[in-house]
Structure 1
Amino acid sequence: MPRAISALPRRAALAASAALLAVAGTAAHANEALIRKNLSERLPNLPRIEEVRPTPMRGLFEIRLNGTDILYTDAEGNYLIQGVLIDTKARTNLTEERLDKLTAIAFESLPLKDAFTVVRGNGQRKLAVFADPNCGFCKRFERDLAKLDNVTIHTFLYPVLGKDSEAKSRAIWCARDRAKAWNDWMQRGVTPPEPPADAKCDTAALERNIAFGQKYRITGTPTTILANGTRLPGAVGLDRLEPLLAQAGAGK
């Protein structure tokens, strides 16, 4: 009997907690409905709202549009805010963290048929790089990548810097040895030769790479994806890349 009596307060606390969660869930649902209604009526040209969710800031809600576009609003949809949400205590950019989750790329989902691959040593460490042939940071990054061993590198040609980038990407993709043509240009400045007019080369892969990058908000080059899905923007130095590759290999 004493054990049954002592359990009562805990059961009551659990019941109270469940009741509070239910109330909070109902309130959040009501806020979502009101936000959707008001914004759709007042801003008919606003893209379809795909998700409404509360933020850590009391009374502020996130609305998601077009897959990965984020705006903020109050509990009634009276105001719309475009910008970033910063947690000053933790000193973190909550908007950036949210976008990282929304645009995360599972390594297994990468369309590797649209990349060319280089394997060194045992090839156990894996990474994919989206790069533009006219990107200076990409060239610097390639010099560092050349120093890695026991690695598999999938390079996606990502010509976003203009017509010349498109032309060089086509020439590299149509080369007999894509990796050599890429390295000759990126590391030694040897311009890739134009493919002959009768060359049978399907360059649709370059268009698919652009579409893939736009979908996942790859807005700069180089952008690196590690085996665990970690995304690294910019020319990451070897001092940072090596430990990240080790973590990715460990599944962290």
Structure 2
Amino acid sequence: MLPLMLCAVSLTACAKAPDAAAPGAQQAARAPGQGMASAAAGSAEERAIQALHSINPRIEVDHVGAAPLPGFREAVVGGQMVYISDDGRYLLQGALFDVHGKTDLSQTGMAEVRRRLLATIPASERIVFAPEKPVYTVSVFTDVECGYCRKLHEDIAEYNRLGIAIEYLAFPRMGPASEDFSKMVSVWCASDRRAALTAAKQGRKLPATNCTSPVARHYDIGRRVGLTGTPMIVTADGTQMPGYMPPADLRAELDRLAAETAGPAATASPSRVPEPDAAVGGAPGGR
């Protein structure tokens, strides 16, 4: 059962590879076992990677490091956290919860992986809707067919009015060989990506267009950062929001996270919500 479990965990390694015939799929190709994590010879981190590969050599390890649990290393595979004993013998899967601190410690490592992987996606590949002076910027993995993705986009002006910049990344949830994937390639290949994305989310038919697009790579990164459904909203510090959030709720949660990070002083001077005429419907970006 354990190899099957790790195959389920490691979506990047074990899920169907992008169809070579799918537009842009060539950009998603990565050799089996090629993860971003590396470790010094003879270290506990190396033993952790070797232990994972002994179960399934195709597993791609995006992060390995010291775990909050003594005697264990933590590793991220397929967007999920696992823990391997320092001798490489035992593996634990699931959340690691600090009862005293009332925090999910496994999310700390995941946030770091999300930050690092999202940083590899340049601004030129993102479709940006932003106010003139955003207070917060979030990355949103989106799909043109997803109902809640469409609902989020319907309120894009309100997110912007509240000082939230939305930077869209592509995640065609039906997979690389689907019509959904082809539609998103057409969006990212359009001369006006913002208008094309809006049209696609409104159910309007787009001209079929093909180019060297980043859609397949965004899709791959989405799986590696733990995406389980769209839209996936990720904050600048790598925190994953719980699915779709209405504009006011997202702003309130971003304020709460900022206050936690800054400490007591932040609660005394909360960020001012922009007035309706202080924001615009979208800053230049994403072509």
State the TM-score bracket (shorter-chain normalisation): 0.5 to 0.7
Matches within 5 A, 1:83-232: 83-105=94-116, 109-120=120-131, 122-125=132-135, 126-148=137-159, 149=161, 150-162=163-175, 163-186=178-201, 189-195=202-208, 201-232=210-241
2:65 matches 1:55: no
**What is the letter of the counterpart of residue 199 of structure 2?**
D
* In 2: Cα distance, 1:243 partner to 1:146 partner: 17
Q: Secondary structure at the match of 2:47?
A: helix
- Find the structure with the greater CA-based Rg: 1
The answer (yes or no) to whether the contact 1:224–1:232 under 8 Å persists in 2 is yes
Q: Secondary structure at the match of 1:90?
A: coil
* In 1: Cα distance, 2:55 partner to 2:118 partner: 38
**What is the letter of the counterpart of residue 195 of structure 2?**
K
Q: Alignment length, in residue pairs?
A: 211
The answer (yes or no) to whether the contact 1:221–1:233 under 8 Å persists in 2 is no
Give per-residue Cα distances to partners, 1:149-191, cap 9 Å, x unaligned.
Answer: 25543222221224131132133234443322322342xx332
* In 1: Cα distance, 2:91 partner to 2:128 partner: 45
- Report the equivalent of 2:244: 235
- Report the equivalent of 1:71: 82
**What is the letter of the counterpart of residue 157 of structure 1?**
A
Deviation of residue 214 (structure 1)?
3.4
Q: Secondary structure at the match of 2:115?
A: coil
The answer (yes or no) to whether the contact 1:64–1:71 under 8 Å persists in 2 is yes
Pair 1:111–1:216, CA change in 2 (3 A):
farther
Deviation of residue 114 (structure 1)?
1.4
TM-score (norm 2): 0.57
The answer (yes or no) to whether the contact 1:223–1:231 under 8 Å persists in 2 is yes
Percent identity between matched residues is: 23
Pair 1:77–1:237, CA change in 2 (3 A):
same
Deviation of residue 235 (structure 1)?
0.6
| Alignment root-mean-square deviation, CA | 4.0
* Higher relative contact order, structure no. (Cα contacts within 8 Å, ≥ 6 residues apart): 2
Give per-residue Cα distances to partners, 1:38-57, cap 9 Å, x unaligned.
Answer: x75x947566987463534x
Q: Secondary structure at the match of 2:196?
A: helix
Pair 1:190–1:230, CA change in 2 (3 A):
same
Gaps of 5+ in 1: 1-31
Give per-residue Cα distances to partners, 1:88-138, cap 9 Å, x unaligned.
Answer: 333332223332233334876542211222344x24343332101111121
Gaps of 5+ in 2: 1-42, 263-287
Pair 1:193–1:55, CA change in 2 (3 A):
closer
Pair 1:131–1:54, CA change in 2 (3 A):
closer
Deviation of residue 210 (structure 1)?
1.7
* In 1: Cα distance, 2:164 partner to 2:74 partner: 40
TM-score (norm 1): 0.63
* In 2: Cα distance, 1:48 partner to 1:206 partner: 20
Deviation of residue 240 (structure 1)?
2.3
* In 2: Cα distance, 1:107 partner to 1:234 partner: 18
